[in-house]
Amino acid sequence: MAWRIFLLEMRGRKCYNSRRAREKMYINREISWLEFNQRVLDQAYRRELPLLERVKFLSISASNLDEFFQVRVGGLMLLRQSGKYAADRKGLAPTEQLELIRMRAAGMVADQYLLMNRELMPLMQQAGISPLPISELTETQYAALEEHFLNQIAPLLTPLAMEVERPPLLPNLHIILAIELREPDSEATRLVTVVLPDALPRRVHSAALGRDGYVLLEELVSEFISHLFPGEPIVNLSTFRVTRNGDIAVAEEEGGDFAQEMEAVLVARKFSDCVRLEIPADTPPEFARRIADMVGADEFCTYPVQGALQLVDFGRLAYDPGNEHLKMEAWTPVPPAAVDPALSMFDNIAQGDILIHNPFESYEPVVRFVEEAAADPDVVAIKQVLYRTARNSRFVAALCRAAESGKQVTVLVELKARFDESRNLMQAEQLQKAGVQVVYGVKGFKTHAKITLVVRRENGTLRRYCHFGTGNYNETTAALYSDLNLLTCNEKLGADASQFFNSITGLTRLMRFRSLFPSPGMMKKRLLELIAAETERARRGEPAEIRAKMNSLNDKEVMQALEDASQAGVRINLNVRGICCWTPGTPQGRVRTRIISIIDRYLEHARIFCFANSGSPLVYIASADWMSRNLDRRVELMVPIENPELSTRVQAILDACFNDTAQAYVVRADGTSVPVTPPPRTKPFAMQQHLQELAWQSARTREQEARQTLEPHRPRK
């Protein structure tokens, strides 16, 4: 009996120690994301950056928080309300995670406003680009603004009585005025709200304020809102902003109209449960509580702020024309050296595989590829996946022209691209009207792959041309996101591309591919095989290395495989921009592992994976991160880079990542991160600056070669 008790105790201790070891290698996903956003906010603190660059990073950090609360906090609150208390891999229940988020996010919000009020706003005032306080306007300016309010703004405002039997629901992420009015000849008060419409600009300009002068819309409306309530004194007035749960599931029943269901979700998202209330810190406490009760926000969800709401709007200053001296010098994308502008894209691709690294190189050849395919009489079919497109997408316009000219055009439009659903619905309708065969994806999976297949008739046969990418078909974000694009007419890749489209439109299994590795199914299996192969080499005492670049890492099986590899002695270098839920759980694993994150002027978005393979590196680009949602619940693609020249070039991008000492952060074992420190007496190395200079140099070399070719032969003297 005593022996049994001893065994049970040892087994329990072993399980406890095993759980503790597992927890050491995991970082909570939400806290990891907040640490990523801290790295974004840190850029706004860099005093060597131009003012509007700092304002832009502050704006991005605020926008990121908006999405985080809608999706991640909203999802956790639903879990808590449902009574599902399953802990995460770190052992934290939803309530514990929400408490940690509250502490970390509240500190981040305080830092944002401290930076804005103490540094950025005074600098904006010096530069003449800060909002003008209404209290400091001249009588002439004040009168002009009052007239502007009455003629241009008041007709668009709609007061909403809130204390009625069925109060109206207030929309998500809008600045709203709460107004407490005293009823005539009474001490009683009533509560009214006014939602500031999207149709009105946040910065209100007037000729009376000078060329660059402006006031904030909410201050202007607050000043003159009494015109809407004659005879009712205003007792209290405050702005506020509600963030609502955006993590709303869509039921995908067979035979249902998926587009209609997505429209219903868009409506529901505007008016779902409140997950955050932002309200000025100087709002009278009783009035603030009244507003919180009205929107259904408890103290846990309420965030007092020390300044203007919706910091994201100030970022527009960095993108609007003018004030160029307050911005970073723009980098002009160069034409890719591998693309001859005098030839068609089909002739260019026929000469060999082309790799384009935007935005250092121009994304224009990718757009040209689809536009030329739409116009080329020899093209018989175009197939493409659209996930997030530009507002006036040239891709959508080209696909419509192709269908109207009689080509067979099939487009998979992913309606569940979060927060882009409305645009995708409209574009899907536009495509269908033009005669495009529109498919809404695979039941239960988001289709996130970046692929275009063009079938062209050449010399009596059909030839396939393909584009594979790590980023969306969006010419706007292609100027802001760093991504890789492969253009090829490789027969194996072309056959796989056809098989891929046949699988997702015909709902057959993703299998029997020769070169591509799709998910769900094949990609994760291949990644685990590649990690295991490096692990086995290390155990045999051979050199072994894994290098990878991605946006996020949280897949349990992949993290366990990396843990095993780190303990076996594999050298691991990861560049994870955002969420990173893995850290080596043992001291020996940490010795040979380095995890960094780079935040710079362009959003690092390319996914690159490289496995040493005993000196013959295996290199891949992918649409997927190493996340469970990408590897198990999305349709994705991983593409091998087999051309030796292109493989070397992709590996050089990884070299630059891990050499960065200017913009890189080291992710520590507890999930926090610190800037990389350059070695003493060395100039900091910035990856993006380096890659842009390489692109410029390549373009100059190409220009010189072209000039020499065209220059007539001169007679010898």
User: For residues 432, 434, 436 and 442, what is the CA-based torsion angle, rounded to 10 degrees?
Assistant: -20
Cβ-in-10-Å burial (0-12, 13-18, 19+) of 379 comes to buried
What single-letter amino acid sits at 451?
Answer: I
Q: How far is residue 24's CA from residue 669's CA, in Å, rounded to a whole number?
A: 8
Contacts of 658 (CB under 8 A, 6+ apart): 547, 573, 575, 594, 596
Residue 448 catalytic?
yes
Q: Which of 148, 357, 448, 605 is catalytic?
A: 448
Where would I find the H helices in 581-665? 587-591, 628-632, 644-659
Q: What share of the chain is helix, strand, coil (3-state, %, to 5)?
A: 45, 20, 35
DSSP label of 613: G
What is the Cα 495 distance to its own chain's centre?
A: 31
Preceding amide of 131 cis, omega within 30: no
Quick one: tokens of 145?
Answer: 């603004």
Burial 252-267 (b: 16+ CB within 10 A, else e): eeeeeebbeebeebee
Q: Is the peptide bond before 520 cis (omega within 30 degrees of 0)?
A: yes
Residue position matching structure tokens 């600056």: 689
Q: Which two tokens stand for residue 399?
A: 């696909």
Strand partners, 453: 383, 466
Identify whether the C-beta of residue 111 lies closer than 8 Å to the C-beta of residue 39.
no
Cα of first residue to Cα of last residue in the chain, in angstroms, is 108
Count the residues in the chain. Answer: 717
Rounded to the nearest angstrom, the gap between the alpha carbon of residue 593 and the centroid of all alpha carbons in its chain is 26
Map tokens 């309300």 to a residue. 81
Write down the residue that tokens 């070299």 correspond to: 655
Sheet holding 274-280, edge to edge: 159-161, 189-195, 175-182, 234-244, 274-280, 302-305
Question: CA–CA distance from 592 to each of 502, 503, 546, 595, 598 (Å)?
Answer: 43, 41, 11, 10, 20
Are 676 and 661 a contacting pair, CB within 8 Å? Answer: yes
Distance CA 475, CA 496 (A): 26
Nearest-CA neighbor of 611 among 640, 576, 579?
640
User: What element of type H or E holds 549?
Assistant: strand 545-550
Helices (H), 434-552: 491-506, 522-539
Q: Just list the catalytic residues.
A: 448
